Structure 1
Amino acid sequence: MLTDNSYLLGICVYVAAACAALAYLTWWLGQYWTQARVALIVLLCAALLLTPAHPNAEVTTFAPALLVVLFEGMINGVEAARHALKPLAFMLFLAAVLAGLLRLIVFRKPKA
């Protein structure tokens, strides 16, 4: 079992790696796509990578919700993964709404 320090270190490393991957994804997609499309893809990927969930009811620590959904869904079925699927779906919806607002407010085309 993990100690508190090793758990915090693991979470910090995971979050740092996810942020680095998102920064690289932003740079890479920014060369080819519009800013609004890049914002949508990066926000959706951030929601997938950074949404936390409890692996099961007895555990007090968090894990990435995407991994919980994948492993619980494969091993115990969709019903067992539903507790992690709800926050993941909510965060994906929130990311899409935020990307839409960015498109309408920040990335709109100037009037000629």
Structure 2
Amino acid sequence: MVIYVLAGTGCLLLLRFWLLSNWPATPRRFLLLVLAALALVPAYPSEDATTLAPASIVAVFNLLFAGGWDAASVPFLTLALGVIAALVLGLIYHLVWGRRSSIEE
């Protein structure tokens, strides 16, 4: 689990500092939050599995290869809840600290 989180965080940092360095702060933050949710929200690959995998990968593989929408609905729901939670946290951050930094300037 530690390697999974470190790899996802490393990819997000690489994306942030390499590809998105010229973007404005607010769109960059929200895009990184959505990508973090897509990369780091875990799901069980099957009902009897004891390990976790990224929900985005589990959802796509279950949709295509393991029973269609019935098998992929739970990972998609988990992924949607993770993205919504990330966006809500980002909105709260923007409303509290984003306005504070614009007031101080």
Question: What secondary structure is seen at the aligned counterpart in 2 of 1:57?
Answer: coil
Name the residue aligned to 1:87. Answer: 78
Distance in 1 between residues matched to 2:10 and 2:48, nearest whole Å: 32
Residue 20 in structure 1 maps to residue 10 in structure 2: yes
Match runs of 1:2-81 below 5 Å: 11-28=1-18, 29=20, 31-75=21-65, 76-81=67-72
- Pairwise CA RMSD: 1.7
Structure 1: which amino acid aligns with 2:6?
Answer: A
Cα offset, 1:17, TM superposition = 1.9
* Structure 2 counterpart of 1:101, from 88, 92, 101: 92
Kept after mapping to 2: 8 A contact 1:36/1:102: no
Distance in 1 between residues matched to 2:25 and 2:90, nearest whole Å: 10
Cα offset, 1:52, TM superposition = 0.7
Cα offset, 1:32, TM superposition = 1.6
Give the fraction of aligned pairs with identical amino acids, expressed as a percent: 33
Normalized against structure 1, the TM-score is what?
0.80
